[in-house]
Copies of this chain bind each other. A is one copy, B any other.
Amino acid sequence: MTTVAPRLTLKEFLRSLGRILAGRPQVPPALAGNELLKIVLNRRSIRRFAPRPLGEDAVAAILEAGRLAPSTVNLQTWSFAVFTAETWQAAFGRGIPFNAQRAVIVLGDIHRSRAMLDSLPHSPLVAYTLAIMNASLAAMNMNIAAEALGVGSVMLSETGRSGLLDVGYLKEKLSLPEGVFPLMTIVFGYPAAAPPPMPPKLPMDQIGFTDGRYHETDPAVLQDWMAEMTAGYKAMRPFSSLEAQLGVYRSKIGQAEEDLKRMIYQMENHPRM
């Protein structure tokens, strides 16, 4: 439908960049003074961290937000693998991505919940879906709690070694039993710079519908999005490109697909995990 990472003319590049820089949360004027809402709407993914250490109190409060997230039948289908810079280095032989101070690998966990509630019929896809959902709720809660403390963070699917795209490797590395799988890594630290501009978001009228039926997205909107993504990536990371980043995904996604397939197949064939 659209082409990927188009080559932009200078005019297109500048126009796309202008649109990115003009991007702002759409806040109803009557609510513009709400400080809490501001935190939620102005949250950004941070990829440059200061060397300033993150206190134990902040880490504890962030993890607490994960622990207290809502979940289906309160089953808390998550586990958190928590790392300092030192333990991460020891585990993965390299630093935490972006020189962040702490990292949490968020795991979907159906292993524990099967023990908590073993009377539901065996339904691995439903269980898998709910585990991803709940673990993601916990992740977002941690991310916002961090924001509330002035701590920056970013959720990563691909870190070289520790995101969803390395599911097979990580299951072995962290000795994860059947039914436990890595979903993402969140890295935390104090931001080293002003927050980056808002990445290009689709307009509300393209993603929300109120007449009870799904609507196709306007192709022109999708094309603008792609141009903005390309321009924004180039402007923020002049020595890389969106295409290069996608190349990393492309190189790993086949293995991740195989690993997930095997994992779900195992769940289907071993009702009692």
A residues in contact (CB < 8 Å) with B = 1-2, 4-5, 25-28, 30-31, 34-37, 39-41, 43, 45, 56-58, 60-61, 63-65, 67-70, 72-74, 76, 78-83, 87, 90-91, 107, 109, 112, 114-121, 123-126, 129-130, 132-134, 136-137, 139-141, 143-145, 147-149, 154-155, 157, 164-165, 173-177, 180, 183-184, 198-202, 204, 207-214, 217, 219, 222, 225-226, 229, 245-246, 249-250, 253-254, 256-257, 260-261, 264
- Measured between beta carbons, the chain B residues less than 8 angstroms from A177 are 214
- Measured between beta carbons, the chain B residues less than 8 angstroms from A87 are 210-212
DSSP class of A's interface residues: helix, strand, loop or mixed? Answer: helix
28 A–B contacts from the bound complex (CB under 8 Å): A1-B115, A4-B118, A26-B60, A27-B64, A30-B57, A31-B149, A36-B36, A36-B148, A67-B201, A68-B201, A70-B143, A74-B200, A78-B207, A79-B208, A80-B208, A81-B208, A81-B209, A83-B210, A115-B222, A116-B222, A121-B257, A123-B256, A126-B164, A129-B260, A133-B184, A136-B137, A144-B144, A177-B214
